[in-house]
Amino acid sequence: MLERLNDLPGDKILALMEMYREDPRDQKIDLGVGVYKNPEGVTPIMRAIKTAEKQLWEQETTKAYTGLAGDPAFADAMIGLVLGDAVARDQVAAVATPGGTGAVRQAFELAHMANPDVRVFVSAPTWPNHVSILKYLKLPVVEYRYFDSESGSVDVNGMLEDLAQAKPGDLVLLHGCCHNPTGANLTMTDWKAVVDVLKKTGATPMVDIAYQGFGDGLDADAAGVRMVASELPELLIAASCSKNFGVYRERTGLLMAVSQDSARQKTHQGNLAYLNRQNYSFPPDHGARLVTMVLNDPELRADWMAELEDVRLNMLSLREQLAQELQRLSGSDRFGFVAQHRGMFSRLGLSPETVDCLREEHGVYMVGDSRINIAGLNKNTVPLLAKAIIEVGA
Ligand code: LMR
């Protein structure tokens, strides 16, 4: 039977990681996969996580199963972090998942369970794995306009026009903040306009929030999703702890189903737990437990917030340095959007040939659509990248 399997094209982001690893040049620069690196090029374990890990080692007395939804304390803490007081706790059903990707996958499956004819609206472009998972699940994908590559900003009118085509029973996937791959984000005025269109269509929104705290701050980055939660009848949220807690390999995420009608919560909770049981039974616990400890201990939480803020400010400063250097070398504001974008990524708007040339001739690794991971830079490599971009005639 297995001889019937065919070779599959590899995930582009992961393939790039591999190519970078194999490149023997010293001068290479990795701007590929979305992993934070400090100015020394290291992806650190955050201080508060390390402390929590020590405490956990001392205090943990069992590795027996938690529950299908994971530890309820994790859900409570994360619901507070993402939703603040936008909705009451009894309006939210939630399960822990293996990372944000696990939550995304479960959200799509839940939507499909609720409506076998669901169509999923995604931004053009979106994180390639969104589309890959949807194709794998055989769910129809409808793209809505999002990024205007001329200006490097959001095409809000195009987006609203396309979203108006959604119907009740459709799922509309939005990025909570720090849009991946473009870095171009909705303003609060744009979020309001999106909410109004969605209200008219009756479609169900889903927010993927994987970079809370990397853009404008923990609360500012969640303001959009909180508005959707408080104004629309229902909402799915896939939240990741990989980046903002730096627990990538622990696979820590939460899927939330929010409803204005708290009488629905029990049914939603049951469906989410059922999905966990079918797919992997109990979700991973270690990362979730560390995150819960950090969020619930005032000292650890304050330390985590301070470190996260340093991470955010480091990326903002790299954005400004790169935009300035490109301005200086090119004599134009063409790349000014890099300083306006938020989060880890910016899409530079370079052709695939230019991206290849940057990799082959300058050892600069970025995703084929010219997405760069800002955190892959430091103050020494910013000028090298800017020079390479100008040299290849971008
Ligand atoms: C990315 O977009 O680089 C990250 O979300 C990591 C991944 O799994 O692709």
- The pLDDT tens digits along the chain (394 residues) read 999 999 998 888 999 999 999 999 988 999 999 999 998 889 999 999 999 999 999 999 999 999 999 999 999 999 999 999 999 999 999 999 999 999 999 999 999 999 999 999 999 999 999 999 999 999 999 999 999 998 999 999 999 999 999 999 999 999 999 999 999 999 999 999 999 999 999 999 999 999 999 999 999 999 999 999 999 999 999 999 999 999 999 999 999 999 999 999 999 999 999 999 999 999 999 999 999 999 999 999 999 999 999 999 999 999 999 999 999 999 999 999 999 999 999 999 999 999 999 999 999 999 999 999 999 999 999 999 999 999 998 7
Protein residue with its CA nearest to atom 5 in ligand 1:
34
What residues flank ligand 1, with Cβ below 6 Å? 13, 33-34, 127, 129, 180
Class of domain 65-296: alpha beta
What six digits make up the tokens of 54?
Answer: 């020590």
CATH 3.90.1150.10 location in the chain: 11-44+305-391
Please choose from 104, 127, 179, 249 the residue to mutate so as to test ligand 1's pocket, defined by most ligand atoms within 8 A of CB.
Answer: 127
Q: Give the rounded distance of the alpha carbon of 368 from its chain centre.
A: 19
Residue 210 known to be catalytic = yes
| CA of 127, closest atom in ligand 1 | 2
Per residue in 196-225, is it b (16+ CB within 10 Å) or e — as a string?
ebbeebebbbbbbbbbbbbbbbbeebbbbb
Protein residue with its CA nearest to atom 6 in ligand 1:
34
Residue 257 known to be catalytic = no
Q: Give the rounded distance of the alpha carbon of 329 from its chain centre.
A: 32
Scan for tokens 């699940």, then name that residue. Answer: 137
> In angstroms, what is the span from residue 3 Cα to ligand 1's centroid?
31
For residues 57 and 65, give the distance between their C-alpha atoms in angstroms, rounded to a whole number.
Answer: 17
> In angstroms, what is the span from residue 33 Cα to ligand 1's centroid?
5
Q: Which CATH number does 11-44+305-391 carry?
A: 3.90.1150.10
Scan for tokens 């400063």, then name that residue. Answer: 317
Residue 127 known to be catalytic = yes
What is the pTM (predicted TM-score) of this model?
0.96
Residue 23 known to be catalytic = no
What six digits make up the tokens of 31?
Answer: 């701007």
- Beta pairing class for 120-124 and 141-145: parallel
| CA of 181, closest atom in ligand 1 | 2
Q: Nearest to residue 166, comparing CAs of 117, 229, 110, 121?
A: 121
CATH 3.40.640.10 location in the chain: 65-296
Please choose from 16, 101, 104, 129 the residue to mutate so as to test ligand 1's pocket, defined by most ligand atoms within 8 A of CB.
Answer: 129
